[in-house]
């Protein structure tokens, strides 16, 4: 078996020489995340089997109940990521460290991806259950607003600014996610809604049992594992991006100084 | 929402003809469209994160990646 070799510019010595690096070392992965990745793949395989094959059709919804095993975990991950993003934003305002800024950015970006998936799967399930893909219902509209807020957060982070200014702007927006999540979550009880109430997370006994219940909880566990894996990798991508930007600035300053000395 | 309707219609055709052979295709069309859209969105994003991480890592010396220690 041969090992692929790539090269990186040797900035540590400032020589600009190409230094060989094993291909397997590249990227944001580590031994632990590789193990977690394999666990995620196994969990996804079981999730697919339980949701599409093992789970029986529902008495009311028939085969369309299988959409619950994708829609609910995706929503839950979107809420969880939004909450982590808001929490990290709050801690950043207190500690003002790069670590919390990167955690918040990674979490909110993930929240936006999973909220987009929520809107798509919700529309599809709406088509199957209600006969329409979209209505201006409290739950659907508040979820769309949550998605717009997340996109706004990501747009604000792209505005050129110092890390301090960028951190403050995005942290304030990140904190606004909390009341929005509460509104989305409680919208079905606060207003008349076409959307159904909670199926499992409520005070009275859950409406599903047996294999459906197990498949439902397994889908939540799988969603949490995927969120963890993606959070770690997205955080590391953000960290690498900051390092590259910093190195690029250092190199540009060094080049300008060298130009000045030769004149 | 016409894009969603198109996805469901396409998945319906697949469900009718090749995947399940189910005689009432409508629910399976929605089910397949739902699962495929989640796999596409999350899988696509995951691929982007991995590729972006590899590209950035190539621009830095290995000691910048502290998680490799």
Rounded to whole angstroms, how far apart are CA atoms A156 and A153? 5
Ranges of chain A whose pLDDT falls below 70: 1-26, 193-194, 196-206, 263
Positive/negative CA dihedral, A215, A186, A113, A157? negative
Please answer whether residues A70 and B38 qualify as being in contact, where contact means their C-beta atoms are separated by less than 8 angstroms.
yes
**A55 belongs to a structural domain:** no
Closest CA of chain A from B6, distance in Å: 11
Contacts of B58 in chain A (CB under 8 A): 6, 8, 21, 26
**pTM of the full structure:** 0.81
Rounded to whole angstroms, how far apart are CA atoms A115 and A185? 13
B15 touches chain A (CB under 8 A): no
Cα-trace Rg, chain A? 23
Residue A105, pLDDT score: 96
Is the ipTM value over 0.90, yes or no? no
A17 touches chain B (CB under 8 A): no
For chain A, what is the domain count?
Answer: 1
Q: What tokens appear for A240 in the block? A: 């690498």
Chain A to chain B Cβ contacts (< 8 Å) = 129
Rounded to whole angstroms, how far apart are CA atoms A26 and B36? 30
Residue A246, pLDDT score: 82
Residue B64, pLDDT score: 72
Residue of A nearest to B11 (CA): A124
Question: B9 lies in which domain range?
Answer: 2-68
**A229 belongs to a structural domain:** yes
For residue A123, give the nearest of B1, B50, B52 by CB distance. Answer: B1
**A134 belongs to a structural domain:** yes
Q: If we measure between CA atoms, which residue out of A228, A230, A195, A210 comes closest to residue A71? A: A195
Residue A13, pLDDT score: 44
**A226 belongs to a structural domain:** yes
Closest CA of chain A from B1, distance in Å: 7
CB–CB contact A8 B49 (8 Å): no
Q: Report CA A157 to chain centroid distance, whole Å.
A: 16
Residue A25, pLDDT score: 56
Closest CA of chain A from B10, distance in Å: 13
Q: A148: Cβ–Cβ under 8 A, 6 or more apart, which residues?
A: none
Closest CA of chain A from B17, distance in Å: 17
Give residue-wise pLDDT tens across range A205-263: 567 778 888 999 999 999 999 999 999 999 999 999 988 888 777 777 777 888 877 76
Residue A198, pLDDT score: 63
For B38, the 3-state DSSP assignment is: helix
CB–CB contact B59 A244 (8 Å): yes
A22 touches chain B (CB under 8 A): no
Q: Which residues partner with A19 through β-bridges?
A: A8
For chain B, what is the domain count?
Answer: 1
Rounded to whole angstroms, how far apart are CA atoms A108 and A103? 9
A9 touches chain B (CB under 8 A): yes
Residue A155, pLDDT score: 96
CB–CB contact A124 B58 (8 Å): no
CB–CB contact A66 B52 (8 Å): no
Question: A125 lies in which domain range?
Answer: 68-196+205-241
Q: Which DSSP category does B16 fall into?
A: I
CB–CB contact B60 A243 (8 Å): yes
CA distances to A62, B25, B28 from B19, rounded to whole Å, are 18, 10, 9
Residue B37, pLDDT score: 97
């Amino acid at each position: 078996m041969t090992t692929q070799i790539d090269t990186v510019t040797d900035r540590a010595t400032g020589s600009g020489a190409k230094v060989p690096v094993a291909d397997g070392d590249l990227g944001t992965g580590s031994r632990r995340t590789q193990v977690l990745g394999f666990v995620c793949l196994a969990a996804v395989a079981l999730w697919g089997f339980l949701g599409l094959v093992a789970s029986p059709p529902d008495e009311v919804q028939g085969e369309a109940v299988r959409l619950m095993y994708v829609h609910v975990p995706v929503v839950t991950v979107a809420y969880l990521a939004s909450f982590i993003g808001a929490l990290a934003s709050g801690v950043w305002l207190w500690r003002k460290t790069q670590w919390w800024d990167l955690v918040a950015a990674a979490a909110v970006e993930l929240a936006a991806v999973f909220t987009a998936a929520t809107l798509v799967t919700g529309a599809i399930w709406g088509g199957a259950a209600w006969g329409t893909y979209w209505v201006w219902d409290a739950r659907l509209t508040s979820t769309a607003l949550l998605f717009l807020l997340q996109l706004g957060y990501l747009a604000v982070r792209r505005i050129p600014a110092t890390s301090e200014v960028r951190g403050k702007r995005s942290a304030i927006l990140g904190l606004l996610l909390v009341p929005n999540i509460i509104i989305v979550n409680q919208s079905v009880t606060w207003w008349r809604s076409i959307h159904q109430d909670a199926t499992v997370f409520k005070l009275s006994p859950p409406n599903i049992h047996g294999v459906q219940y197990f498949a439902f909880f397994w889908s939540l566990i799988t969603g949490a594992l995927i969120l963890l894996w993606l959070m770690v990798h997205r955080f590391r991508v953000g960290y690498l991006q900051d390092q590259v930007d910093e190195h690029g600035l250092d190199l540009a300053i060094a080049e300008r100084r060298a130009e000045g000395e030769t004149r | 929402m016409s894009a969603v309707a198109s996805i469901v219609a396409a998945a319906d055709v697949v469900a009718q003809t090749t995947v399940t052979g189910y005689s009432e295709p409508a629910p399976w069309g929605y089910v397949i469209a739902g699962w495929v859209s989640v796999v596409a969105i999350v899988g696509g994003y995951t691929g982007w994160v991995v590729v972006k991480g590899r590209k950035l890592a190539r621009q830095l010396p290995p000691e910048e990646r502290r998680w490799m220690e």
